[in-house]
Structure 1
Amino acid sequence: MRFLYQTVIFLSALLLPITRFFNKKMRLFIDGRKQTFSILRQKTDRSQKYIWLHVASLGEYEQGLPVMEALKKRHPDYKIVLTFFSPSGYEIRKNNKIADITIYLPLDTKPNVKRFLDLVQPEMVFFIKYEFWPNYLNELKKRNIPTYLVAGIFRKDQLFFKGYGGFYRKALTAFHHFFVQNEVSNILLKSIGFENVTVHGDTRFDRVAEIVERVQPLDFIEKFKNNTATIVIGSSWIDDENIYLPYLNNSKNIKFIIAPHNIKEEDLNRLKQKINKKVVRYSNYNPDDLSTADVFIIDTIGILTQIYAYADIAYVGGAFRTGLHNILEPATYGAPVVIGPKYEKFQEANDLVSLGSCLVVNNIEELSNTFNELIKNTSLRKDLGSKNKNFVLKNKNATKIVMDFIEKNTQACKL
């Protein structure tokens, strides 16, 4: 397995540059990584102390953000190096204000790993949720750098728990402690000999709860809503459109706010052409048209979280595709949440579905029936929304658990 992994990584480093000519995302993936080491040489300072935090993409960034904020607050003398694997996360958050250096993670080849760690020389490392790169982890262990997994999720189908997964199990020994989201992950880790595990939940609860506390009103959304029942459709893909658009086009006395996952002009035009109601777009709306419009398309990034505050019902996209987007944001505002069927890999979705306050639909008919019931039954809507909000509030403080553990275990930590 070790030889196979090293071979695959070597071939990836060799062949991936070719893909940049055929795919914009891969072009960002390849070209962005070309800058990593030059950025580190320019920005790192050997007189400074660094903490390295790694995330896969945008969702993991949201989970890591409370940890970075807590580290900055408790240890302002440390600098944070934040790495992303995916362009979809990096391109949106590359100009964040919390990290001191934000870069792409170099591919997990042994030369890249040594070069990266030699430049950063982190005092401590945090991996968020499920990024496990064996060469990085093995080198961190060799250098005895305290390394933590935060908001971790493990599933029994992962290689760690297979008879032939010894190479990956060995990489896990780099972690000084695992902070995991659920008891299933705890049991799985203990089944392969790891006792250094704490079930702390999900740091995103801290993130969304904080957002609600400082949310600012959006006057243009108030004007659009105009005291009318409003369904907010967040982070939707074309698969979601195929499910909700028939309902939207046949609805009466309901307003819709749509924040698509992709905001390319061609995708936005295609969406608008499918809607037979009065549509306005955030980028060019006339304020005088807002109160009479039926559909508001949000063609920008960064305000969906605030918009959820105006949702009577929230539909969160991605679960008719491959990955559900963030349901905690609408949940924390006390909105009932509707999602598609592919949600099993998301602990918060499993929990809210079990509570009955996150409703799963499999097709157009089920979505229509669910929306109609929630629209006409105000008490049901409020009851489900209250369950969601209380669930978020109950599960806060995962970040505090992490930080308190680190503070108490100073021998495993250089802070």
Structure 2
Amino acid sequence: MYLLYDLIWLFCCLLLVPWYLLRRHCGGKNRQGLRERLGWYARGRLAPLENRPVLWLHAVSVGETRAAISLIRALKKAFPEYALVLSNVTETGHAIAREIAEIDLCLFFPFDISLAVRRVLRQLRPAMVVIVETEIWPNLVRCAHRASIPLVLVNGRISDRSFPRYHKIRSLLRPVLNRFAFLCMQTRQDRERILALGASPERVEVSGNLKFDMSCDGIGNRSSQEMRAVYKLPADALVWVAGSTHPGEEEQILETFEKIQRQNTGVCLVLAPRHPGRCPEVGQLMTSRGLGWTARTDLDRRKTPLQTGEVLLVDTVGELLNLYAAGDVVFVGGSLVPVGGHNVLEAALLKKPVLFGPHMENFREIAHLLVEAGGGRMVQAEDLGDAMSALLADRQLRQSMGEAGFRFLRQHAGATQRTVEVMRRLLRS
């Protein structure tokens, strides 16, 4: 099985490597770190790890990296003698990782080819490998197990979409899962699902969701008005922030924004597509509708603040929390279309009322509990305008929803400490 898996990866590399080289040659910024993905590091690249034990954490992209921040900070306090390495698959995740002060070294995750993985393990010599959420790489698991390096899955979850697919190959997954030293799952349902796939019950624990332990990174005590000044948003306007949007949602959001504009002329929209590479097409969509807009990367060249009725199009990564802080109401995307939703807790952390659509399969329990606590509302596409208008018109309602969401967030905190305790036990043993 592993030989076949390696052969498939090698075939993929015949396509991937030329593609990476071509993108780099053409000046693209989206395909970096090819050498690291093959397990080769430049001279001196691993210098921060010399003469120190290593904890290797892996978070595939932006969401997983942000979720891991509270754990990373706790690990730095609990194990100050260890060097912390964080790897990512995506360039956007890597960009976020480089901003985390507690990380000693940021790397790109190697292709899951046994030769590359063994090379990386020999060079890093980690005391433990920690995988954030459900990133199951068979060769990494097998090679680490053979080298007697404990693997821990943290913040584990198995979505509605993934579970049927995993279940079909559970006979192949069972030996992989049982090479993990421990699996820390978010909810009881996630635990039941991982057990159904063949994990050993004594190695599975419900530790909670690390995202409940988020902090206002980089915002501190800065007020909404201060954040608006950073993004040249009008101080006296109402600001609607639509974050992590997907194709098919921007049209509905812009149509709703235009309707709101006809009712209330003092509103601005901040539109942040999930994938910034889509911003040119979103910009064309706004131009075709006659909407004035400015890209985030063009703000420095703009001498005057945005006007009410204009749109700030966010073509950068890593700024969503700051933008939520500047807003009055937040809509979280990936939820009006069948994507599965995105993290609604970031808005709750900043005491903002949050709206989202019906497709929250990836965050079903969190979304349900947030609505139950009074901090959020689920809306259908046709109801988005009425719900948004009601919130924009009622400051007291916005404040009460924001406070309720924040209380809910803090009531469910604690996953970080439970996860650290699991790792402490394993390192001692």
Band the TM-score falls in, shorter-chain normalisation:
0.7 to 0.9
Which digits, 9 at most, give the CA deviation of each residue in 1:69-122, with x for residues without a partner? Answer: 112222222111211112331244345433222111111111112111111110
Give me the whole-angstrom Cα distance separating, in 1, the residues matched to 2:217 and 2:37.
Answer: 35
Shift of 1:242: 0.8
The normalised TM-score by structure 1 is 0.86
Aligned residue among 54, 57, 60 for 2:58: 54
Closer, same or farther: CA 126–350 of 1 in aligned 2, 3 Å:
farther
Paired residue for 1:374? 391
Q: Which moved more, 1:55-64 or 1:347-356?
A: 347-356
Change (3 A) 1:219 1:155: closer
Residues 160 and 168 of structure 1: is their aligned pair in 2 closer, same or farther, counting only changes over 3 Å?
Answer: farther
Determine helix, strand or coil for the equivalent of 1:88. Answer: helix
| Cα offset, 1:400, TM superposition | 1.1
Who is 2:191 aligned against? 186
**1:16-415 correspondence runs (5 A):** 16-20=16-20, 28=31, 31=34, 33=36, 36-39=39-42, 42-44=45-47, 45-94=49-98, 96-155=100-159, 157-158=162-163, 162=167, 164-191=169-196, 192=198, 193-208=200-215, 210-211=216-217, 214-217=220-223, 219=226, 221=228, 224-250=233-259, 251=261, 252-253=264-265, 254-263=267-276, 266-267=280-281, 269-274=283-288, 276-282=290-296, 283-284=299-300, 286=302, 288-290=304-306, 294-319=310-335, 320=337, 322=339, 324-346=341-363, 347-353=365-371, 355=373, 357-363=375-381, 365-407=382-424, 409=425, 412-414=426-428
* Contact 1:51–1:125, Cα closer than 8 Å, also in 2: yes
Q: Cα gap change, 1:137/1:327 in structure 2, threshold over 3 Å: closer, same or farther?
A: same
CA distance in 1, matches of 2:166, 2:271: 41
Q: Separation in 2 of the partners of 1:405 and 1:31?
A: 34
How far apart in 1 are the matches of 2:255 and 2:308?
Answer: 21
Q: Which amino acid aligns with 2:206?
A: V
5+ unaligned residues in a row in structure 1: which ranges? none
Taking a change above 3 Å as real, the CA distance of residues 323 and 285 of structure 1, as seen in their structure-2 partners, is farther
**Letter paired with 1:295:** V
**309-318 vs 49-58, which deviates more?**
309-318
- Note closer, same or farther for the CA distance 1:359–1:21 as it changes in structure 2 (3 Å cut): farther
**In the alignment, is the contact (CA less than 8 A) between 2:244 and 2:334 conserved in 1?**
yes
Structure 1 stretch displaced more, 233-242 or 36-45: 36-45
Q: 1:19 to 1:291 in 2, by over 3 A?
A: closer
Q: Distance in 2 between matches of 1:164 and 1:88?
A: 30
For structure 1, which segment, 100-109 or 226-235, has the greater mean C-alpha deviation from structure 2 after superposition? 226-235
SS at match of 1:232: strand
Distance 1:40 1:357 in 2: 50
The one-letter code matched in structure 1 to 2:280 is: E
Aligned residues: 410
SS at match of 1:107: coil
Measure the CA separation in 1 of the matches of 2:81 and 2:174: 34
- Shift, 1:184, TM fit: 0.3
Extract structure 1 runs of 4+ deviating beyond 6 A: 21-27
Retained in 2: the 8 A contact 1:189–1:195? Answer: no
Matches of 1:206 and 1:124, distance apart in 2: 22
Shift of 1:393: 1.0
Across the aligned residues of Structure 1 and Structure 2, the Cα RMSD in angstroms comes to 3.2
Whole-angstrom distance in 2 between the partners of 1:50 and 1:343? 37
In 1, Cα distance between equivalents of 2:290 and 2:34: 41
For structure 2, list consecutive stretches of 5 or more residues without a partner in the other structure: none
- Give 1:313 deviation, angstroms: 1.4
For 2:80 and 2:86, the matched residues in 1 are separated by: 16
1:321 positional shift: 5.9
Moved more, 289-298 or 310-319: 289-298
1:220 Cα deviation after fit: 5.8
Contact map agreement 1:90 1:103 (CA 8 A) in 2? yes
**1:312 aligned partner, one-letter code:** D
Choose 314-323 or 125-134, whichever is displaced more: 314-323
The verdict on how the C-alpha distance between 1:4 and 1:356 changes in structure 2, with shifts beyond 3 A counting, is: farther
- Post-superposition CA distance 1:387-408 (Å, at most 9, x none): 321111112221111123333x
Give me the identity figure in percent.
24
Tell me which moved more, 324-333 or 112-121.
Answer: 324-333
